[in-house]
Structure 1
Amino acid sequence: MRIAVTGSIATDHLMVFPGRFAEQLLPEQLAHVSLSFLVDGLEIRRGGVAANIAFGLGGFGLSPLLVAAVGTDFAEYEVWLKEHGVDTSGVRVCAQRQTARFMCITDQDANQIAAFYAGAMAESREIDLRVLLAGTERPGLVLISPDDPAAMLRHTAECRELGIPFAADPSQQLARLDGDQVRDLVDGATWLFTNEYEAALLMERTGWSRDEVLAAVGTWVTTLGEKGVRVEHAGQPSLTVPAVPDVATADPTGVGDAFRAGFLAAVSHRVPLEPAARLGCALASVVLGSVGSQSHEVDPAHLSTVVERAYGPGAARPLAPVLGEPA
C-alpha cells in the first residue's frame, strides 16, 4: 500500500542543556519567566514531522508521497530525501519564504523546550490533493500530520471527498486548534495517532469521552514514552506493547515520527497490530539512540534483531513481509 504523508518539512536546530529545566523554574515567578540557557552544543539536522515519517517509510522501500510546502532553500534536502526513497513530487516550493525551522533545547531528563517557525509551511494550504493525485497512483492511505492548520483541515476534507482512507495525527497542532476543528480532523479517521498528553488534550478540546473518540475513529494509537504504546479499537480490549528496554537516550527528537513510520510500514503489509506496534517501537529505539531524526539507517536485519531481543524469539516472524525472514 502506498502512503501519502502531508505535514511539515523543517530544519531542526537541536541544543542540549546539561542541567534540569525544573530546577530553573521558580513556582512564584511562573507568570514572569525570563530565562536563557547556556547550551553545550548545537546540531543542525533535517526534520519536520512529514519528512521524518516519509524518510522512515522510504527506508522500508515504500516510496511514500511527501506533500508539503518549502522554501527555495530545500534543494539539498530534497536530494537527500529522494536518495532515501521518498517521492517529493507533492512538495510545493515557495519563492518568498524559507523552509520551516524547529528550534529545541533538551535537558538531561529529556525534557524539551521548543519553538517552531512556520515559514513556507503556511502555503501548504494551497496544495490541492484532488489536483495532485489526478492521473497518478492513488495512495491507500493519507497521513495528515502536523501542518498549517488550514492545510490539515483542507486535506482531511479532500480525503473524504476522494474516498481515500486517512490517518489523523494532529499532535503539536492541538494547541492551535479549537474543538470543532479537532473533531473535523479526527472524525472518520482510519487511524488516530497521539501521545499520552495529546490524548488527554484531544478529549478536552473535543469534549468527547474516550469511548466517543473510539466511536469516531477506526483505531487509536497512543504512544506512552518509556511505557510503550497503547492500541485501542471500539468494542475490543486495548493492546499495550512495551517499549524496547534499556535504550540509551541520545536525542528524543523524531522518536514519535519513527514509531509512526515503523507501525505504518507494517500495517501497509497487513501485519497484525501487535507486531506492527513492536516494529514501531523498535525503529523508535533506533532514533532515540541517535542525534537527529534522520541520522539513522532503516536496517531490516538490525530491526529484526531488536524485535527478537525485546519481545522474544519468534517475535520478528510476523514482520517478515516488511523485514524479510529473520536470520
Structure 2
Amino acid sequence: MRIAVTGSIATDHLMVFPGRFADQLIREQLERVSLSFLADRLDVRRGGVAANICFGLGRLGLSPLLVGAAGTDFAEYAGWLRDNGVDTSAVRVSERLHTARFVCTTDADQNQIATFYAGAMAEAPLIDLAQIARSTGRPALVLVGADDPAAMLRHTAAAHRLGIPVAADPSQQLARLDREQARRLADKATWLFTNEYEAALLLDRTGWSQDDLLGRIGTWIVTRGAEGVSLLRAGTPGLHIPAVPADRIVDPTGAGDAFRAGFLAGLAWRWPHEPAARFGCALAATVLESVGTQEYELLASDLITRISETYGDEAARAIQPRLADAL
C-alpha cells in the first residue's frame, strides 16, 4: 500500500526552559505580553509534519512518497530521508527560499510556545498532486498534513477528484482556516486526525456538531496525550485506546507524527483499527523518550515489549510477525 504524505518540511530549533510559562504570565497584562525565556538547551533537528510521518513510515519499510516544498538548503536533509526509506522525488525545491523553520520552547510542564516560518512552504500550492500521481504511480492513500492552506485545499480537491482516499490532518493550520476552508478539508475524509484541542477547534471552525462531522467522514482519530486515543465513527460506540507509557518524557515534539506513522503503517499492513492505534501509541512513546522528531531508534523487541506491557501478550503476538519483517 503506497502512501503519499503532503505537508510541511522543516528544520526544528528546539529549546528547553527550565521554569514554567504559567509563572511568568500576569493575568491582568495578557493583552500586552512582552516576555523572554532563558533556555538552557538548544537542539537543531530535522522536522516538518510530512517529513516526520514519512520518516516513520520509511523506517518501517513502507517507502512513503513525500510531497511538499523545501528550500535551497534541502540537499543534506533529502539524503537523510532517502537513506531512511523515503521517496523524495515529489518534493519541490525552491530556487530562492530556505526550508521552513519551526522554533519551539518547552517548559518544565511540557507546555510549548512555538513559531513557524514558512519559507519555501509558500511554494507548496504550485505542486500538482495529479501530475505526481501520473509520474510516480497512484497512491492508495493521501495524507493531507499541515502546509500552506492553499496547498492543503488543492491536494484535498485533487485526491477526491482522483478517487484516492484522504486522511485529513490539518493540525497547526486550523487556526488559519475560515469556515469554508475547514469544511472543505474535513468533508469526505476517510480518516481525520486531530488532537483533543484541535477537535474542539475544528468543530468551532466548521460550525458542525460532532454528529454532523462524523456523518461526513469515515473515522475520526483524536489523540489525547497521556489519556490515549479515541476512534470515532458515526452510528457506533467510540473506541478508546490507552496510551503506551513512556519511561521518561524527554521531548513531546513529534509524538503525534509518530502516532500517525504507526497507525498508517497498521492500515498498510491490513490490521484492524485497534491494533493499528496501539502500534501508533507505541511509536509515540518511543519518540517521547528522545529529543527531536527523527532521532529515535525503532527495535522490534522494544515495540513488542511496550505493547505487551500495555495491551497484553495476545496483542503483542498478533503484531510480532509483521514487525520482525519490517525492522
Q: Same fold (TM over 0.5)?
A: yes
Which residue pairs with 2:198 in the alignment? 198
Which residue pairs with 2:211 in the alignment? 211
Q: Does the 8 Å contact 2:246/2:285 carry over to 1?
A: no
1:101 deviation in Å?
0.1
1:321 deviation in Å?
5.8
For the pair 1:123 / 2:134, whether they are aligned, the reply is no
1:324 deviation in Å?
3.3
Paired letter, 2:36: S
Which residue pairs with 2:12 in the alignment? 12
**Cα-to-partner distance string for 1:76-125 (whole Å, 9 max, x where unaligned):** 10000000000000100001100000000000000000000000001010
* Distance of aligned partners of 1:128 and 1:321 in 2 relative to their CA distance in 1, 3 Å threshold: farther
Which residue pairs with 1:24 in the alignment? 24
Structure 1 stretches of 4+ with a deviation exceeding 4 A read none
Within a 5 Å distance, the mapping from 1:236-255 to structure 2 comes to 236-255=236-255
Paired letter, 1:233: R
Equivalents in 2 of 1:153, 1:86: separation in Å? Answer: 24
Equivalents in 1 of 2:164, 2:113: separation in Å? Answer: 36
> Equivalent residue of 1:188, what SS?
coil
Within a 5 Å distance, the mapping from 1:179-194 to structure 2 comes to 179-194=179-194
Which residue pairs with 1:146 in the alignment? 146
1:258 deviation in Å?
0.3
Aligned Cα root-mean-square deviation (Å):
1.2
Q: Does the 8 Å contact 2:241/2:277 carry over to 1?
A: yes
* Distance of aligned partners of 1:123 and 1:248 in 2 relative to their CA distance in 1, 3 Å threshold: same
1:298 deviation in Å?
2.5
1:320 deviation in Å?
4.0
Equivalents in 2 of 1:112, 1:93: separation in Å? Answer: 30
Segments of 5+ residues of structure 1 without an aligned counterpart are none
Equivalents in 2 of 1:277, 1:185: separation in Å? Answer: 23
Question: How many pairs does the alignment contain?
Answer: 326
Paired letter, 2:313: P
* Distance of aligned partners of 1:41 and 1:92 in 2 relative to their CA distance in 1, 3 Å threshold: same
1:247 deviation in Å?
3.0
Which residue pairs with 1:228 in the alignment? 228
**Cα-to-partner distance string for 1:112-162 (whole Å, 9 max, x where unaligned):** 000000000010100001111114321100000000000000000000111
Within a 5 Å distance, the mapping from 1:267-286 to structure 2 comes to 267-286=267-286
Q: Does the 8 Å contact 1:8/1:49 carry over to 2?
A: yes
Q: Does the 8 Å contact 2:221/2:231 carry over to 1?
A: yes
Which residue pairs with 2:109 in the alignment? 109
Segments of 5+ residues of structure 2 without an aligned counterpart are none
Paired letter, 2:281: C
Q: Does the 8 Å contact 1:59/1:297 carry over to 2?
A: no
* Distance of aligned partners of 1:138 and 1:320 in 2 relative to their CA distance in 1, 3 Å threshold: farther
Q: Does the 8 Å contact 1:60/1:322 carry over to 2?
A: no
Q: Give the share of equivalent positions with the same residue, in percent.
A: 65
Which residue pairs with 2:262 in the alignment? 262
* Distance of aligned partners of 1:130 and 1:246 in 2 relative to their CA distance in 1, 3 Å threshold: closer
* Distance of aligned partners of 1:8 and 1:322 in 2 relative to their CA distance in 1, 3 Å threshold: farther
Equivalents in 2 of 1:32, 1:218: separation in Å? Answer: 43
- Name the TM-score, length of structure 1 as normaliser: 0.98
Q: Does the 8 Å contact 2:11/2:101 carry over to 1?
A: yes
Using the TM superposition, name which of 293-302 and 34-43 deviates more: 293-302
- Name the TM-score, length of structure 2 as normaliser: 0.98
Paired letter, 1:4: A
Paired letter, 1:93: V
1:246 deviation in Å?
4.7
Equivalents in 2 of 1:125, 1:135: separation in Å? Answer: 18
Which residue pairs with 1:65 in the alignment? 65
Equivalents in 2 of 1:115, 1:196: separation in Å? Answer: 21
Which residue pairs with 1:86 in the alignment? 86
Which residue pairs with 2:164 in the alignment? 164
1:245 deviation in Å?
2.2
**Cα-to-partner distance string for 1:2-46 (whole Å, 9 max, x where unaligned):** 100000000000000000000000000101100000000110000
1:191 deviation in Å?
0.1
Equivalents in 2 of 1:234, 1:322: separation in Å? Answer: 30
Equivalents in 2 of 1:144, 1:247: separation in Å? Answer: 32
Which residue pairs with 1:44 in the alignment? 44
Equivalents in 2 of 1:301, 1:66: separation in Å? Answer: 28
1:48 deviation in Å?
0.3
Paired letter, 1:57: L
Which residue pairs with 1:319 in the alignment? 319
Equivalents in 2 of 1:322, 1:166: separation in Å? Answer: 25
Equivalents in 2 of 1:119, 1:135: separation in Å? Answer: 26
Equivalents in 1 of 2:22, 2:136: separation in Å? Answer: 51
Q: Does the 8 Å contact 2:246/2:288 carry over to 1?
A: no
Using the TM superposition, name which of 134-143 and 146-155 deviates more: 134-143
